[in-house]
Amino acid sequence: MTDIAPETLVDGRYRVLTRIGSGGMADVFVAEDQQLGRKVALKLLHRRFAEDQEFVERFRREASAAAGLQHQNVVGVYDRGRWDDTYYIAMEYLPGRSLKQVIRADAPLDPLRAIDLTIQILKAARCGHRRGIIHRDLKPHNVIVDAEDRAKVTDFGIARAGASDMTETGSIMGTAQYLSPEQAQGRSVSAQSDLYAVGVILYEMLTGHVPFEAETAVSIALKHVSEPPAPPSSRNPHVPPELESIVLWALEKDAARRPADADQFIDALQEVRDHLTGGDGGQRTASFAPPPPLPPVVDDQRTGTLPPVGYDADDGLAAWPPDEAPPRRRRRWPWLVALLVLALAGAGVGAYLLLKPKDRTVPDVVGQDVANASNALRDQGFRVTVKRVSSPKPQDQVLSEAPSAGTKAKKGSTVAMTVSGGPGQGSVPPVAGLTQRSAERRISKAGFQPVVVPRPSTQYAKGNAIATSPTEGNRIDRGKTVRLFVSTGPAMVSVPDVTSLTVDAAVTQLRGAGFVDRQVQQESTTAQPGTVIAESPKAGTSLPKGSTVTLTVAKAARPTVPNLVGKTQDEATNALLALGLVPQVASKTVTDQTQDGQVLSQSPPPGTKRSKGGRVRLVIGRVSAIPPPPTTTTP
């Protein structure tokens, strides 16, 4: 991306205002021409390409090619040059939206509006084709539409002018959704490649969708090569049949079977437009005037109208006396005129026989898909009209044709096809909770074909309907298949072996398999606390999904309080600390010197289980240092 700050002055002339777009080769800015005081679109080649002579030459060629295209539907090129180690082109700036934005906001477009925009695009393409320039990247993104629906085509940056020695022939340069089959196959392009792209644009304007969509550009390209496009009316039933026929004509896989040039494409669209608006859009055929009538031949003897006396019809001289008729000469000019007229008449008849449309046999297309049928009829030189009617037959299947198959008809005449629009649409009914039989009956009554698909379920009892696909409420063509999911009961799942795992890992594995866990604690002197030492049911047991598995989790064993009575305070304290217990010492005065410093009693008593950290009370004997008072004897 070319980083240029606003107010930057390019080549001492163009003051940059803002960026308006970025492409694979260049960035585009709105700039103000300081010399002429007008806004321009300034395209600057990415600097990383500026040292690549092939890219530079292609960029330079764009300016040269586009500068020669002076047309009301082509964006004008004003200037080109080099600046700051890169190259630029100054072009006409057009406020407005791209046709892609128009389609996103307004599609499907009214057929008349779509026709008008398409004719303008074709006129721009025709301007280039007449100068040997093929655009090769016609798409809605490269068409600017103003507020009055005037369209201009831009970006001839990948056009190939004439027999240029640039070796881009066969490279897939355009956007995949608008590529012609020959571009997708890496073959050379022609004017028909642009007409194919225009057909895709018209399709998208009429339906809001491109003919072919996929996850990757390669998949889209393969569809352009091998798959027939769905008729536009299958996505928008309001597309007129005659307009649909033109769209499919432009989208022929074989370039030779598309319109011969932009003019033929424009004429066909204009004829449909005239028909839709009530103008003179009827088919025009060549006509021949009958030969002129033979002039009358004057018979002088029969009518008695002889030249006056003394006047010779041939010489204009008096040669015989008035009372003697001159010898009568045969007059040649009437015969010459008659022969000439007959020759002209014969020539006219011969020309008529040579030029009159030849009769063709109407092929049998009943039962075929409308796209294939249209192609077969056009191959024989017929025009095609399509009328759609409701029918239980599959959508787009030809039901009848007029004239009928086998009939002789003139080349260029029209064959009218009646095509199935399908049986109409219905709403998928709700079936959840019904028995399988009731659900199938309800789907059939709605006009669809139920297909049962078994599926485990913990919510619905075995044999009851779960749901449908498409889901309830969706409107689809009657006669279509509706999948009915029927419960087989809860799914059976094998209990995984989670013993020796930490309790967290065991719980994660069980829940991932669809089980519910329950935990119980158990003391263990051998297992690491917090690990699973047992599970119930055992590993490998098959249970319904959602069943409970009980985990026995190890916890540290509680120490047993030892017998500490008679031990010294140090011995008792050390013994308790070794077991993880906390000694709590109290003193008691004793007189027996042997009990001094010994444990007299303990609480809790020996053999009691105590948690680690629990307290054990020790009573320690202490001999008092103060002698006891003397004993008083009573007399």
CB atoms within 10 A of CB 584: 12
Burial of residue 386 (CB within 10 Å: 0-12, 13-18, 19+) is: buried
Question: CA–CA separation, 127 vs 150, rounded Å?
Answer: 16
Whole-angstrom distance, CA of residue 311 vs CA of residue 317: 5
Cα 348 to the center of its chain, rounded Å: 57
Note if 137 is an active site residue. Answer: yes
Contact call for residues 125 and 262 (beta carbons, < 8 A): yes
483-520 burial string, b = 16+ CB within 10 Å, else e?
Answer: ebbbbebbeebebbebeebebeebbeebeeebbebeee
What would you measure as the largest C-alpha separation in the chain, in angstroms?
230
CA distance 161 to 132: 6
Query: 3-class DSSP state for residue 257?
Result: helix
Spell 546-561 as b/e; 16+ CB within 10 A means b.
Answer: ebebebbbbeeebbeb
Q: How far is CA 415 from CA 377, 378, 381, 621, in A?
A: 8, 10, 10, 124
DSSP per position, 386-447: EEEE--SSPTTBEEEEESPTT-EEETT-EEEEEEE--S-EEEPPP-TTSBHHHHHHHHHHTT
Phi and psi of 368, rounded to 5°?
-85, 165
Query: Alpha-carbon torsion 578, 579, 581, 584, what sign?
Result: negative
In angstroms, rounded to a whole number, what is the distance separating the alpha carbons of residues 112 and 240? 10
The secondary structure of residue 479, as a DSSP letter, is T
SS3 483: strand
Residue 502: DSSP 8-state: B
SS3 482: strand
SS3 sequence of 12-36? CCEEEEEEEEECCCEEEEEEEECCC
> Which candidate in 79, 137, 155, 369 is catalytic?
137
Q: Could you list the active site residues?
A: 137
